[in-house]
């Protein structure tokens, strides 16, 4: 177990408030594979982080530093980590190399990557941030760590394009991962890159990021093509004793995928525009639903939030509806 120690000085209530905030998050970080310990004295708060390996330790440093920087009065804190780890590398930023790509459906291309350490992605955090060149065939530079363990990004043409994606599958034994890209027009930087990429091309990936998958006795998952990677991965990794009902709307039937459903999991394919009504029709009789999650277009996401709360009667703590993309021309309310 690698050990790293950071010393942060806070006066009076500031140290106590920070310690309470970090203690409340401890269980969440334990699930990510690192541990946080707060030791307080009259004039000092000492944070001790531990993680199994330097990559998880680097991830811990970035997570905790980001959390501290977002707290009131801490944005400019001079935070420096001392102890173990590689001060010259961001362990949660990996070099990825394309080994293959294929069309899974007419509008979905699966790209397979050889990565440095696939085990880092094998948990319940499914999302990563890809680092791509600004133009096809162009060069980009990887970020370097600052003393707080956060990335310092290059400037100008070497600054990579950053896009969030879901890891569709992880094969830790061979250090391979799959990422599914929805092909659409007009193609953005990530879509254009995925459409044209060839074996041997290198990109970067920062992560895993985002919230971990929440397990529950019965989950409802909903989404469109953009949410399929996390929906299908959750179905495939569904533990015994849990149930998942998934509702996915597609542009047409050609986008359906062959899926082997574990016991207790059901998948309903819908056409575009049918998703909200399908969830509303479930009604409040679905009183055994313990968690609902949706990933869709912006306007659909807002409608699903209402459906989860009003039609299914779920409290806000038991559902989450995320906008994965936004229709061109759509305006914010």
DSSP, collapsed to helix, strand or coil, labels residue 33 as: coil
Show Cβ contacts of residue 182 under 8 Å, excluding neighbours closer than 6 positions.
107, 108, 191, 225, 226
> Among 234, 249, 130, which Cα is nearest to 192's?
130
180 and 108 Cβ atoms separated by less than 8 Å: yes
Q: Please check the confidence at residue 43 and state whether its pLDDT lies above 70.
A: no
Architecture of domain 93-209: Beta Barrel (2.40)
Domains 2-83 and 218-325 belong to one CATH topology: no
Tell me which H or E stretch contains 305: helix 298-306
Q: How far apart are CA 281 and CA 305, in angstroms?
A: 14
What is the average pLDDT value for the chain, to the nearest integer? 89
320 and 294 Cβ atoms separated by less than 8 Å: yes
> Among 257, 309, 321, which Cα is nearest to 284's?
309
Q: Please check the confidence at residue 330 and state whether its pLDDT lies above 70.
A: no
Q: How far is CA 50 from the centre of its chain?
A: 22
Q: How far apart are CA 246 and CA 235, in angstroms?
A: 8
322 and 214 Cβ atoms separated by less than 8 Å: no
Residue 171: per-residue pLDDT: 97
Q: How far apart are CA 19 and CA 80, in angstroms?
A: 17
Q: Please check the confidence at residue 296 and state whether its pLDDT lies above 90.
A: yes
Query: Which whole number is the average pLDDT over 294-311?
Result: 95
234 and 219 Cβ atoms separated by less than 8 Å: yes
Residue 331: per-residue pLDDT: 34
Show Cβ contacts of residue 32 under 8 Å, excluding neighbours closer than 6 positions.
56, 59, 60, 63, 123, 125, 212
Q: How far apart are CA 111 and CA 103, in angstroms?
A: 9
Show Cβ contacts of residue 202 under 8 Å, excluding neighbours closer than 6 positions.
95, 96, 97, 98
Percentage of the chain surpassing pLDDT 90? 62
- β-bridge pairing 176-182 and 108-114: antiparallel
Residue 27 vs residue 109, higher pLDDT? 109
Q: How far apart are CA 330 and CA 303, in angstroms?
A: 15
Residue 322: per-residue pLDDT: 95
- Is residue 333 very low, low, confident or very high in pLDDT (cuts 50, 70, 90)? very low
> Among 156, 176, 155, 162, which Cα is nearest to 205's?
162
Q: Please check the confidence at residue 238 and state whether its pLDDT lies above 90.
A: yes
User: Considering only 150-159, 197-206, 215-224, 283-292, which range has the smallest mean pLDDT?
Assistant: 283-292
Residue 232: per-residue pLDDT: 97
Was domain 218-325 assigned CATH 3.40.50.80?
yes
Residue 16: per-residue pLDDT: 72
179 and 165 Cβ atoms separated by less than 8 Å: yes
> Among 205, 115, 214, which Cα is nearest to 165's?
205
User: Considering only 15-29, 51-65, 112-126, which range has the smallest mean pLDDT?
Assistant: 15-29
DSSP, collapsed to helix, strand or coil, labels residue 129 as: strand
Q: Please check the confidence at residue 332 and state whether its pLDDT lies above 60.
A: no
Sequential DSSP letters for 135-159: STT------EE-TTS-EE---GGGS
Query: Which whole number is the average pLDDT over 188-212?
Result: 94
- Is residue 82 very low, low, confident or very high in pLDDT (cuts 50, 70, 90)? confident
Q: What b/e sequence results for 160-198 when a residue is b if at least 16 CB atoms lie within 10 Å of its CB, and e otherwise?
A: bbebebbbbbbeeeeebbbbbbbbeeeeebbbbbbeebe
Q: Please check the confidence at residue 184 and state whether its pLDDT lies above 70.
A: yes
Superfamily of domain 2-83: Alpha-D-phosphohexomutase, C-terminal domain (3.30.310.50)
Q: Please check the confidence at residue 9 and state whether its pLDDT lies above 70.
A: no
308 and 319 Cβ atoms separated by less than 8 Å: yes
Query: Which whole number is the average pLDDT over 37-43?
Result: 76
Q: What are the residue boundaries of the structural domains of the chain, listed by start?
A: 2-83, 93-209, 218-325
Show Cβ contacts of residue 75 under 8 Å, excluding neighbours closer than 6 positions.
69
- Is residue 195 very low, low, confident or very high in pLDDT (cuts 50, 70, 90)? very high
Tell me which H or E stretch contains 113: strand 108-114
Query: Which whole number is the average pLDDT over 169-180?
Result: 98
Q: Please check the confidence at residue 56 and state whether its pLDDT lies above 60.
A: yes
Tell me the pTM: 0.89
Residue 97: per-residue pLDDT: 98
What phi and psi values does residue 38 have, to the nearest 5 degrees? -110, 125
Residue 14: per-residue pLDDT: 64
Q: Please check the confidence at residue 314 and state whether its pLDDT lies above 90.
A: yes
Residue 284 vs residue 207, higher pLDDT? 207
Residue 272 vs residue 16, higher pLDDT? 272
Q: Please check the confidence at residue 1 and state whether its pLDDT lies above 50.
A: no
272 and 224 Cβ atoms separated by less than 8 Å: yes
Query: Which whole number is the average pLDDT over 63-91?
Result: 81
């Amino acid at each position: 177990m690698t050990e790293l120690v950071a010393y942060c000085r806070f006066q009076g209530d500031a140290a106590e408030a920070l310690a309470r905030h970090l203690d409340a998050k401890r269980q969440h970080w334990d699930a990510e594979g690192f541990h946080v310990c707060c030791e307080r004295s009259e004039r000092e708060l000492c944070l001790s982080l531990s993680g199994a390996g330097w990559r998880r330790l680097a991830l811990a440093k970035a997570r905790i530093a980001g959390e501290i920087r977002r707290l009131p009065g801490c944005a400019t804190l001079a935070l420096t980590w001392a102890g173990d780890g590689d001060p010259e590398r961001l362990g949660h930023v990996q070099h990825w190399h394309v080994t293959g790509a294929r069309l899974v459906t007419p509008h979905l291309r699966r790209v397979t990557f050889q990565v440095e350490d696939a085990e880092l992605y094998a948990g319940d955090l499914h999302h990563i941030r890809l680092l791509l060149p600004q133009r096809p065939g162009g060069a980009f530079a990887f970020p370097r760590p600052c003393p707080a363990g956060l990335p310092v990004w290059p400037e100008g043409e070497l600054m990579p394009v950053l896009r969030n994606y879901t890891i569709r599958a992880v094969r830790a034994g061979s250090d391979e991962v799959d990422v599914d890209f929805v092909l659409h027009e007009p193609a953005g930087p990530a879509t254009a890159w995925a459409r044209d990429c060839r074996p041997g091309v290198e990109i970067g990936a920062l992560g895993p990021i985002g919230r971990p998958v929440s397990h529950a006795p019965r989950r409802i998952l909903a989404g469109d093509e953009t949410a399929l990677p996390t929906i299908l991965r959750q179905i495939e990794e569904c533990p015994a004793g849990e149930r998942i009902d998934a509702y996915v709307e597609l542009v047409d039937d050609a986008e359906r995928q062959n899926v082997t459903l574990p016991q207790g999991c059901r998948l309903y394919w819908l056409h575009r525009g049918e998703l909200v009504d399908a969830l509303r029709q479930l009604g409040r009789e679905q009183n055994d639903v313990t968690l609902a999650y949706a990933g869709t277009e912006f306007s659909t996401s807002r409608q699903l939030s209402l459906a989860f709360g009003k039609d299914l009667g779920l409290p806000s703590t038991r559902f989450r509806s995320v906008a994965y993309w936004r229709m061109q021309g759509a305006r914010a309310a």
